[in-house]
């Protein structure tokens, strides 16, 4: 209330003479309207320094990206992502790539987005897949098979992935590290049965693909999202086009997942019964 009283006193002081008072009244109004809002992307997250301090003490080398795929934590991406909330940053090493983004959404919302594959290709989604369906196991469950296909720049691929949650990492980190892994199983399914038989004959299966998603809650509405992908699409994706397509795919996938997570943040869940990485129900 003191600040309101102070503003009222200032207005009185500048009302004399009338012409000047009227002019200054307009100036005050313009200052209020044109004043810049709070820095975008910072309201739900701690300072970059606090986020980096949290990340440094979590043992991020325990994630599959390092233990299974022999890639160190992408600390340079963490640095950039903590400074620019909502922007993805990539790094590549041959067929291996990582993308990191810090998003102003709760970790549970991102987890639901990751585990609701039946929504990944729905109308309006920016996740770069054209079809996505759980073909074995329970949607949102601890382990399942996913069939997906994508087509971009005249090139298309389909794949079947085994997806599972990292219970051991979640429990060992006291709930600070949420991980979802996958590996390609395209050569173990019958393409002549639904839904695989619905794919155009000009789409080839992905030659190789493994990877993991890692989520780190940094505040109630702030989550670091890390997407690691090791893949070989095979076929005609070669030469200078492969790095370009790969890097763009990393950015589009992680950004699209965050966009889907925003929907879970603001709306009631009408999808599957989601579970935490340790198998317990997620409200």
Sequential pLDDT tens for the chain (283 residues): 333 333 333 333 333 333 334 333 333 222 223 333 333 344 589 999 999 999 999 999 999 999 999 999 999 999 999 999 999 999 998 889 999 999 999 999 999 999 999 999 999 899 999 999 999 999 999 999 999 999 875 678 999 999 999 999 999 999 999 999 999 999 999 989 999 998 888 889 999 999 999 999 999 999 999 999 999 887 655 443 455 667 888 999 999 999 999 998 876 666 788 999 999 999 7
Q: What is the pTM of this model?
A: 0.82
Neighbour count for residue 269 (Cβ, 10 Å): 16
Task: State the Cα–Cα distance between residues 79 and 20, nearest whole angstrom.
Answer: 50
**Which residues make up the CATH 3.30.530.20 domain(s) of the chain?**
48-266
Q: What is the CATH number of domain 48-266?
A: 3.30.530.20
Query: Which of 131, 139, 102 has the alpha carbon at shortest distance from 195?
Result: 131
Considering only the C-alpha atoms of the chain, give the largest distance between any 2 of them, rounded to a whole number of Å: 87
In Å, how far are 83, 162, 191, 192, 218 from 188, measured between CA atoms? 43, 11, 9, 12, 39
């Amino acid at each position: 209330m003191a600040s309101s009283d102070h503003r009222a006193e200032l207005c009185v002081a500048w009302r004399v003479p009338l012409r000047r008072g009227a002019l200054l009244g307009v100036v005050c109004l313009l200052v209020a309207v044109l004043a810049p809002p709070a820095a975008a992307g910072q309201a739900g997250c701690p300072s970059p320094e606090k986020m980096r301090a949290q990340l440094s003490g979590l043992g991020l080398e325990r994630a599959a990206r390092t233990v299974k795929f022999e890639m160190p934590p992408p600390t340079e991406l963490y640095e950039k992502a903590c400074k620019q909330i909502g922007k993805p940053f990539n790094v590549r090493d041959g067929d291996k790539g990582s993308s990191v983004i810090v998003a102003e959404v709760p970790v549970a919302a991102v987890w639901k987005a990751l585990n609701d594959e039946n929504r990944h290709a729905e109308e309006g989604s920016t996740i770069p897949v054209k079809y996505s369906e759980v073909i074995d196991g329970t949607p949102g469950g601890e382990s399942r098979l996913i069939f997906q296909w994508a087509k971009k720049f005249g090139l298309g691929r389909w794949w079947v992935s085994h997806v599972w949650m990292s219970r051991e990492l979640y429990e060992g980190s006291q709930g600070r590290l949420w991980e979802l892994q996958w590996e390609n199983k395209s050569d173990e399914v019958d393409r002549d049965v639904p839904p695989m038989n619905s794919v155009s004959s000009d789409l080839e299966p992905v030659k190789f693909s493994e990877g993991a998603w890692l989520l780190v809650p940094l505040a109630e509405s702030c989550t670091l999202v890390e997407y690691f992908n090791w893949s070989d699409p095979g076929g005609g994706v070669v030469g200078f086009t492969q790095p370009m397509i790969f890097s763009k795919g990393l950015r589009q996938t992680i950004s699209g997942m965050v966009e889907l997570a925003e929907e879970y943040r603001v709306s009631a869940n009408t999808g599957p019964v989601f579970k935490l990485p340790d198998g317990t129900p997620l409200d």
